Amino acid sequence: MNRRHLFAAAAASLALFAATGAHAQQTVKIGLILPMSGPFASTGRQIEGMAKLYMAQHGNMVAGKKIELIVKDDTGTADVTKRIAQELVVNEKVSVLAGFGLTPLALATAPIATQAKVPTIVMAAATSIITEQSPYIVRTGFTLPQVTAPLAEWAPKNGIKKVVTLVSDYGPGHDAEKAFKETFAKGGGQVLAELRVPMANPEFAPFLQRARDAKPDALFVFVPSGVGSAVMKQFAERELAKDGIRLIVTGDVLDDDILNGMGDTALGVVSSHHYSAAHNSPENKALVEAFKKSNNMRPNFHGVGGYDGMHLIYQALKKTNGDADGTKLLEAMKGQSWTSPRGPVSIDPETRDIVQNVFIRKVEKVNGELYNVEFATIEKVKDPVKAAKK
Amino acid sequence: MLTILFDGFAYGMILFVLACGLSVTLGLMNFINLAHGAFAMAGGYLTVVLMNRFGVSFFLCIPAGFLVSAALGVVLERTLYVRLYARSHLDQVLFSIGLVFMAVSAIDYFMGAQQQLITLPPSLQGRVSLFGIQVGIYRLFVIAICLVLAVALQLILSRTRFGSQLRAAVDDARVARGLGINVSLIFTVTFAFGSGLAGLGGVLGAEILGMDPTFPLKFMIYFLVVISVGGATTLTGPLLASILLGIADVAGKYYVPTVGSFIIYTIMVVVLILRPQGLFGRANAR
Amino acid sequence: MFALLSYFRPDTATAAGTLLAPVRWRPLEILFWLVAASLLWLAPSKVLLLNEIAILALFVLSLDLILGYAGIVSLGHGAFLGVGAYAAGLLGKHGFTDPVMGLLIAGAAAGLLGFVTSFLVLRGTDLTKLMVTLGVALILRELANKFGNITGGADGLTGVVMGPVLGLFEFDIFGKTAYGYSLTVLFILFYVARRLVNSPYGLMLRAIKGNSLRTGAMGVPTNHRLVTIYTIAAVYAGIAGALLAQTSQFVSLDVLDFHRSADALLILVLGGSGQLWGAVIGSIAFKIMYDYLAAITPQYWQFWLGLVLVLIVLFGKGGILGFVNSSREWLAHRLGKGAAK
């Protein structure tokens, strides 16, 4: 009991401290913690580029406060991420933490968000459980079940009754596998085999061979974006399509960042995701144009999470009239809705997850480049895992 | 069954093509060059740039990758590596890791952090039927190159004057020098050759493994596993070890997927416990 | 300044001096610990980083025990760090929240693994040892991923609860308790290690490192000695892992990553192996360098770090400490004096 008291007192004094710190200044600091080096650097680069682009487009003054962005490299390790988050809160007195490329990094930081009452915006990490770890976590990226379930709904309606699933053997992979299986079964589909691929694995031959042996109508794949191209290439090389096996994937596999390099092997592959650089809206066209100009690459789904994350912070600050108190900002973020380059989105006030449209897309050639062209929309999708818990 | 065997064999060959250059620098010159992957990356990125920006044919990239990496090897050997031959293995590790860090950041700076992919010429795409099983043409192509390489390397080492000079220079540089062998020239040539092979591995691996800036770190473990299991003192050792590891890995993941990720490491540990010098290494190796 | 630095070096004028000098605490060493402790109050904004440095230093110190004093190279020392971290994390998650108890149990768990695996590193060349230790660490990593229901898998182990240290000091968000706790543990274990390496046992280890065949012929049970030190080093690394888990109250799979082991090796060589201070100085230099570079250029700090490593190898033998010592000697020589007595 003593401990709990102490803890509460510490948290309260800290919150007070954080609040006074923020009040005293005319600057609102945002700590952006991203993987800027190592295997997930491209995620960090996308989000950083987008956050800076948003600030360039919308100015750095909101409701009379100057916005300052502090970018830190988390090196992809959880303890470093947590330490950086702590330092940003304690030393820099940031009002908002943002970024987080991988699930464990977000989970490690969750206690800091709660303790310091700092709104923490998860822009990329996609495991469902993250927002449940702290009432101060808000997500502007996506959850894997959220983008997987619509595909599992679409498949049985389009002649796919038997599927083999292939996912990377880690948290998000398990999430995707489970979400696909459950939704697919509801639509009358049958999962013949569930394959899990080790994370460090350049060779997919044995898994693709197993998939072929099971003779499914389609192979469902989720792997993180860098690994996706290897699956695509080997799927094409083994000519599984000639055995009547279709390839359906989550959009991670067909990451806009590298899609064009995959070549014609990717043509016709069906995927589901919440964002495509080919999304047909004036907001998106302007964004793609601007991002190509400033960063010389196509925006991808992680990037748009960063863009919307910044937008959410700006909107919340406007609503509080520049009051950067953590709890007030958080309340202002809940229930926000706006038209993002990916389509209409909103923040679910209960789960603090993003509610968004999910699209079924097909890879096609547009002006000589490969794009995921959307052909069906499932509107206002919530994270199905949390919806099922109610 | 046969398909699995072939896939494993092909996978092993990719491992070999990446690792054989290392067996030259590490095995023959006794230099722990962890920057091996960086030379492979040089070859890989050269291919990416040549093919995607300048539309050069993939077949031309193969020798280009070898030559450019070899040239890079010469420059670095003359300026930096040559100072480290006499130093401890730990110094060599520290030095070459430093080079890897620099290479990773430099590529990131110039080429971006995202993965780079190439598209093979149509003649290498698709599959053919061979002995009743379907095999990928590109895999056959890689296997053919590897076998030619392995034979050629073995011949150079054991049959040519250069080969015996090299072995002499490695065994005892002072005596070799006394016999009038130009040891530093031999080392430069050998190092360049090893780097060139790494570059070649990068070109051939770019299609299957993809190129990103962390390539040298990501695949370093694989190179080292092959070399240590095969034994560093010969070339046939790593070749056979690659095949063994490739087949075991693919077959293991096919038949017992739950333990798939352990197989390659377990084999390595078991082999090294039973035969510390590697499967095919000489027992009296350094 | 260089005269001061000489206090890091043993006095080697006489045979008795050679044996006794390293045992005595030098003023600079005492000063170091005083400064380290005072930073708790002097640099409150840096204690989080300092905590990380202290833990890293302990980890590297444990590697120095086997590499610097017994000549066993390892690329898998992270295995013990990971086992310690998971042991401490799981204890905290399941209600055993006393940090010191957790530290001891985690150390014991890692020590057990160290004892079992020590028999694998007695034979073979450097390369063999590197690869066997690496293999063990990678297998452990895969195991931790496979048993995700226990370890949290790739999502990491959440819900680690830590009670106050000794029932008095609650872990706070500023990291003061964390740093004080880690620094104390580091100091105690450094003290023990210092006694150990300067004992006859420590000298014996160095003899084995020099020539194990000859020491064996002298009647020293070589393998027995090596097993002991390997186990001790594993305990040290396990405790470092436990500190990491307890102060961050989270354990993720990356504690078992290859780069942890590789970093430790780099830092040790950077600081200078075979001298306990090398591990501490190396860790400080490495982390401060990283922190400084990453603040300037979060994307490309690795390049500059790599450059520093290359330059250190090319121009400074024996790491930072070696560099300091040789430049001190050079300076002394230039000034026409003998080496500092």
Mean pLDDT of chain A: 86
> Which residues are CB-contacts of B152 (< 8 A; sequence separation ≥ 6)?
none
Contact A314, A62 (CB under 8 A): yes
Q: Quick one: pLDDT at residue C171? A: 80
* CB-count burial class (<10 Å; 0-12, 13-18, 19+) for C42: exposed
> Which residues are CB-contacts of B181 (< 8 A; sequence separation ≥ 6)?
B165, B168, B169
- Chain segment B88-100, per-residue pLDDT in tens: 888 888 888 889 9
What is the torsion angle, in degrees rounded to the nearest 10, for the CA atoms of residue A211, residue A212, residue A215 and residue A218?
Answer: 60
Please report which confidence band the pLDDT of residue A135 belongs to, taking 50, 70 and 90 as the band edges: very high
CA distances from C308 to A129, B94, C212 (A): 41, 10, 34
In chain B, which residues have their Cβ closer than 8 Å to the Cβ of C136? 269
Start-end of H helices in chain B: 2-22, 36-54, 58-79, 89-111, 137-159, 161-171, 173-178, 183-209, 215-230, 236-255, 263-274
Cα torsion angle, A338, A340, A346, A352, sign: negative
Kindly determine whether residue A7 and residue C301, on different chains, have CB atoms separated by under 8 Å.
Answer: no
Kindly determine whether residue B224 and residue C132, on different chains, have CB atoms separated by under 8 Å.
Answer: no
Nearest to A298 by CA among A345, A336, A258: A258
Report yes or no: C145 at the A interface, CB cutoff 8 Å.
Answer: yes
Nearest to A107 among C52, C158, C300 (CB): C158
Q: Which residues pair with A33 in a beta bridge?
A: A72, A99
Kindly determine whether residue C298 and residue A78, on different chains, have CB atoms separated by under 8 Å.
Answer: no
Kindly determine whether residue A79 and residue C175, on different chains, have CB atoms separated by under 8 Å.
Answer: no
Q: Average pLDDT of A264-270?
A: 86
What is the torsion angle, in degrees rounded to the nearest 10, for the CA atoms of residue C235, residue C236, residue C240 and residue C242?
Answer: 20
Mean pLDDT of chain C: 83
Which residue has tokens 């094409």? A236
Q: Average pLDDT of C299-324?
A: 80
**Pairwise CA distance, residues A250 & A232, whole Å:** 12
Q: Average pLDDT of A167-191?
A: 88
Give CB contacts under 8 A, 24+ apart, made by C37-43: C37/C183, C39/C179, C40/C176, C40/C179, C40/C180, C40/C183
Pairing assessment for the beta strands A96-99 and A120-122 based on DSSP bridges: parallel
Contact A286, A279 (CB under 8 A): no
pLDDT at A19 > cutoff 70: no
Domain of C123 in residue numbering reads as 2-340
Q: Average pLDDT of B82-88?
A: 83
Q: Quick one: pLDDT at residue C109? A: 95
**For chain C, how many residues are written?**
341
Contact C125, A77 (CB under 8 A): no
**Pairwise CA distance, residues C240 & C245, whole Å:** 9
**Pairwise CA distance, residues C333 & B70, whole Å:** 43
CA distances from C150 to A308, B165, C24, C39, C163 (A): 36, 57, 47, 38, 21
Nearest to C199 by CA among C110, C69, C66, C14: C69
Nearest to C8 by CA among C246, C277, C283, C335: C277
What is residue B131's three-state secondary structure? Answer: coil
Pairing assessment for the beta strands A162-168 and A218-222 based on DSSP bridges: parallel
Report yes or no: A257 at the B interface, CB cutoff 8 Å.
Answer: yes
Please report which confidence band the pLDDT of residue C341 belongs to, taking 50, 70 and 90 as the band edges: very low
Please report which confidence band the pLDDT of residue C36 belongs to, taking 50, 70 and 90 as the band edges: confident
pLDDT at B44 > cutoff 70: yes
Quote the DSSP letter at residue B24. I
Q: Quick one: pLDDT at residue C339? A: 41
Contact C58, C80 (CB under 8 A): no
Kindly determine whether residue B100 and residue C132, on different chains, have CB atoms separated by under 8 Å.
Answer: no
Contact A134, A162 (CB under 8 A): no
pLDDT at C118 > cutoff 70: yes
Please measure the distance between the N-terminal and C-terminal CA atoms of chain A and give it in whole angstroms. Answer: 32
Distance from CA of B208 to the nearest CA of A (A): 6
Please report which confidence band the pLDDT of residue A390 belongs to, taking 50, 70 and 90 as the band edges: low
Which region among A364-368, B61-65, C18-22, C49-53 has the lowest average model confidence (pLDDT)? C18-22
Q: Which two tokens stand for residue B19?
A: 């690792």
Q: Quick one: pLDDT at residue C16? A: 61
Q: What percent of chain C has pLDDT over 90?
A: 26
Most confident range (mean pLDDT) of B51-60, C53-62, C330-339 is: C53-62
Start-end of H helices in chain C: 2-5, 15-20, 27-42, 47-70, 78-93, 99-118, 126-146, 148-151, 176-197, 200-210, 212-217, 222-248, 258-271, 276-296, 301-315, 319-334
Pairing assessment for the beta strands A337-340 and A343-347 based on DSSP bridges: antiparallel
Which residue has tokens 């290439």? A233
Instruction: Kindly state the helix (H) or strand (E) to which residue A195 belongs, with its residue range.
Output: strand A190-197
Max CA pair span of chain B:
58
Q: Average pLDDT of C104-112?
A: 95
**Pairwise CA distance, residues C41 & C179, whole Å:** 11
pLDDT at A325 > cutoff 60: yes
| Helix orientation angle between B137-159 and B236-255, rounded to the nearest 10 degrees | 150
**Pairwise CA distance, residues A299 & C166, whole Å:** 52
Q: Quick one: pLDDT at residue A22? A: 44
Kindly determine whether residue A210 and residue B254, on different chains, have CB atoms separated by under 8 Å.
Answer: yes
Kindly determine whether residue B80 and residue C126, on different chains, have CB atoms separated by under 8 Å.
Answer: no
CATH code where residue C322 lies: 1.10.3470
Neighbours of chain B (3+ CB pairs under 8 A): A, C
Distance from CA of A174 to the nearest CA of B (A): 14
Please report which confidence band the pLDDT of residue C336 belongs to, taking 50, 70 and 90 as the band edges: low
Q: Average pLDDT of C57-75?
A: 90
CA B286: distance to chain centroid? 21
In chain A, which residues have their Cβ closer than 8 Å to the Cβ of B139? 237
Q: Quick one: pLDDT at residue A52? A: 92
**Pairwise CA distance, residues A340 & A338, whole Å:** 6
Q: Which residue has the higher pLDDT, C243 or A171?
A: C243
Q: Quick one: pLDDT at residue C103? A: 92
Contact A345, A337 (CB under 8 A): yes
Please report which confidence band the pLDDT of residue C318 belongs to, taking 50, 70 and 90 as the band edges: low
**For chain B, how many residues are written?**
286
Q: Quick one: pLDDT at residue A220? A: 93
Q: Which two tokens stand for residue A315?
A: 């909107």
Report yes or no: C147 at the B interface, CB cutoff 8 Å.
Answer: no
Please report which confidence band the pLDDT of residue C18 belongs to, taking 50, 70 and 90 as the band edges: low
Report yes or no: C134 at the B interface, CB cutoff 8 Å.
Answer: yes
Nearest to B156 by CA among B184, B205, B196, B204: B196
What is residue A111's three-state secondary structure? Answer: helix
Identify the closest residue of chain B to C317 by CA–CA distance. Answer: B91
**Pairwise CA distance, residues C70 & C191, whole Å:** 19
User: Which residue type sits at A234?
Assistant: Q
Nearest to A278 by CA among A208, A349, A346, A370: A370
What is residue C98's three-state secondary structure? Answer: coil
pLDDT at A148 > cutoff 60: yes
- Chain segment A204-243, per-residue pLDDT in tens: 888 888 888 888 999 999 988 778 888 888 888 888 888 8
Q: Average pLDDT of C92-112?
A: 90
- Chain segment A273-284, per-residue pLDDT in tens: 999 998 889 889
**Pairwise CA distance, residues B172 & C288, whole Å:** 42
pLDDT at A305 > cutoff 80: yes
How many residue contacts between B and C have a Cβ separation below 8 Å? Answer: 125
Kindly determine whether residue B115 and residue A238, on different chains, have CB atoms separated by under 8 Å.
Answer: no
Nearest to C302 among A37, A86, A115 (CB): A37
Identify the closest residue of chain B to A237 by CA–CA distance. Answer: B126
Q: What percent of chain A has pLDDT over 70?
A: 93
In chain B, which residues have their Cβ closer than 8 Å to the Cβ of C305? 98, 101
**Pairwise CA distance, residues A287 & A268, whole Å:** 25
Q: Quick one: pLDDT at residue B239? A: 87
Q: Quick one: pLDDT at residue B174? A: 82
Cα torsion angle, B175, B178, B180, B186, sign: positive
- Chain segment B61-74, per-residue pLDDT in tens: 889 999 999 999 99
Instruction: Kindly state the helix (H) or strand (E) to which residue A139 belongs, with its residue range.
Output: strand A137-139
Q: Which two tokens stand for residue C58?
A: 């302990």
**Pairwise CA distance, residues B170 & C250, whole Å:** 49
Interface probe, candidates A168, A233, A245, A267, chain B, greatest B C-beta count within 10 A = A233
Kindly determine whether residue B94 and residue C269, on different chains, have CB atoms separated by under 8 Å.
Answer: yes
Most confident range (mean pLDDT) of A354-358, B225-229, C11-15, C159-163 is: A354-358
CA A174: distance to chain centroid? 16
Identify the closest residue of chain C to A45 by CA–CA distance. Answer: C299
pTM: 0.86
- Specify the number of domains making up chain C: 1
Report yes or no: A368 at the B interface, CB cutoff 8 Å.
Answer: no
Q: Quick one: pLDDT at residue B114? A: 79
Identify the closest residue of chain C to A41 by CA–CA distance. Answer: C299
Distance from CA of A368 to the nearest CA of C (A): 32
Q: Which two tokens stand for residue C243?
A: 């500190």
Q: Average pLDDT of B72-82?
A: 89
Q: Quick one: pLDDT at residue B169? A: 83
pLDDT at A294 > cutoff 60: yes
**Pairwise CA distance, residues C138 & C146, whole Å:** 12
Identify the closest residue of chain B to C316 by CA–CA distance. Answer: B91
Kindly determine whether residue A226 and residue B212, on different chains, have CB atoms separated by under 8 Å.
Answer: yes
Q: Which two tokens stand for residue C112?
A: 């057990």
Identify the closest residue of chain B to A300 by CA–CA distance. Answer: B114
Q: Which two tokens stand for residue C330?
A: 């050079």
Please report which confidence band the pLDDT of residue C21 belongs to, taking 50, 70 and 90 as the band edges: low
Nearest to A163 by CA among A187, A204, A183, A193: A193
Q: Average pLDDT of C77-103?
A: 91
Neighbours of chain C (3+ CB pairs under 8 A): A, B
Identify the closest residue of chain B to C299 by CA–CA distance. Answer: B105
